[in-house]
Amino acid sequence: MIISIASGKGGTGKTTVAVNLALSLKNIQLLDCDVEEPNAHLFIKPYIKDKVGASIPVPEVDEAKCTHCGKCRDVCAYHAIAVVPGDSSNKGSVLIFTHLCHGCGACSLLCPRGAIKEVSKKIGIIEMGEKGNMQFVQGRLNIGETMSPPLIRQVKNYINPTKTVIIDAPPGTSCPVITAVKGSDFCVLVTEPTPFGLNDLILAVEVLRKLQIPFGVVINRSDIGDGKVEDYCRQGYIPVLMKIPFSREIAVSYSRGTPIVEKDLSYRNKFINLYLGICGAKNEANSRH
């Protein structure tokens, strides 16, 4: 089973839930797909055994063959190409902004002169390791890169189907999140009982409904804020799988890089219960279809 941990709003506790859930269960593979700022390793402290570079194909133009027809610019869905035709004083050029390129290959495929070839551009690294019998994989996007979905997809290529896979997703509701949660059997949305938490939860719920991934909610810092997140979940028949109180003990342990299940063993049972809740909610969602 693949369980992804996501949230509309950042800083709600995705990594806390992913890490503690992973440490409470057996036969786990944890994937940190928050590649812009992977931080699960700070709590897991895995032994990294292997590193591989991650790259995307980007176009390179052979100026000798190029006629500046502009086809590549027209087909680029990401507006990453500009074509300056030549005139008497200027020989013309094709400008490619590789940081906007998604590596889809349309420009090289459709160039009528075959003037575009694809070259590899490094965008980050993938690190693989382990902690006890937990497998750990994380992606790390190079500083200055903005194109995280290709790296997230490459991290997910390491999914081990013989294990229970937990994916720590990036925050938000855009392409990186969709890339991370796609193909999951269940998604846990971590939120907090505040107006911001609720607003972004609603957006995330819309995404998951569209992707048809069953989901449930974990309310972090559940004893602050208001009751509107719970009202929303009740009205939408969304299961609230776990509530984590606003506790000094958790905050102190987090700031030291110690997962709460290692400090307070009673949390281990709470996270095992979360897992049972996930299984139950997933089965119920599947039986409805």
Partner 1 sequence: MPWVGWKLAVNMAKAAVVVKKEGVNMKICITSEGKTLDSKVDSRFGRCQNFIFFNTDTGNFEAQENANLQFQGGAGIQSGQLMVSKGVKAVLTGNIGPNAHQVLSAAGISIFTEVSGTVKEAIDGYKNGKYKPADAPSVSSKFGMPGKSI
Which positions touch partner 1 (CB under 8 A)? 67, 73, 78-90, 93, 95, 97, 100
Nearer to partner 1, 73 or 268 (CB): 73
Please, what is the minimum distance in Å from the beta carbon of residue 277 to partner 1?
36
The contacts of residue 77 (CB under 8 Å, 6+ apart) are: 102, 104, 106
Contact 236, 205 (CB under 8 A): yes
Compare residues 84 and 276 and give the one whose CB is closer to partner 1.
84
* Closest residue by Cα to residue 16 from 213, 168, 135: 168
Q: Which is nearer to partner 1, 110 or 265 (CB)?
A: 110
SS3 of residue 210 by DSSP: helix
73 vs 228, which CB is nearer to partner 1? 73
Closest CB 76 distance from partner 1, rounded Å: 8
57/81 Cα distance (integer angstroms): 15
Q: How would you classify the pairing of strands 93-96 and 28-32?
A: unpaired
Question: What does the alpha-carbon distance between residue 142 and residue 284 come to, in Å, rounded to a whole number?
Answer: 41
Contacts 24+ apart (CB under 8 A), 69-75: 69/112, 69/113, 71/107, 71/110, 71/111, 71/112, 72/107, 72/110, 72/111, 72/116, 75/106, 75/107, 75/110
How many angstroms separate the CA atoms of 82 and 68, rounded?
10
**Residues contacting 134, CB < 8 A, separation 6+:** 22, 23, 28, 29, 30, 44, 46
Helix pair 195-211, 228-235: axis angle to 10 deg: 20
Question: Shortest distance, CB of residue 82 to partner 1, whole angstroms?
Answer: 4
**Closest distance of CB 68 from partner 1, Å:** 9
Side chain identity at residue 264, one-letter code: D
* Nearest CB to partner 1, comparing residues 28 and 66: 66
Task: Give the nearer residue to partner 1 in terms of CB position, either 41 or 71.
Answer: 71
Residue number with CB closer to partner 1 (112 or 161): 112
Cβ at position 260, least distance to partner 1 in Å: 36
Least distance in angstroms from the C-beta of 100 to partner 1: 5
Q: How far is the CB of 222 from partner 1 (least distance, A)?
A: 30
**Residue 39 carries which DSSP code?**
-
Q: What's the min distance (Å) between Cβ of 81 and partner 1?
A: 8
Q: Given the complex with partner 1, which of 81 and 278 has the nearer CB atom?
A: 81
Query: Tokens for 35?
Result: 């590649």
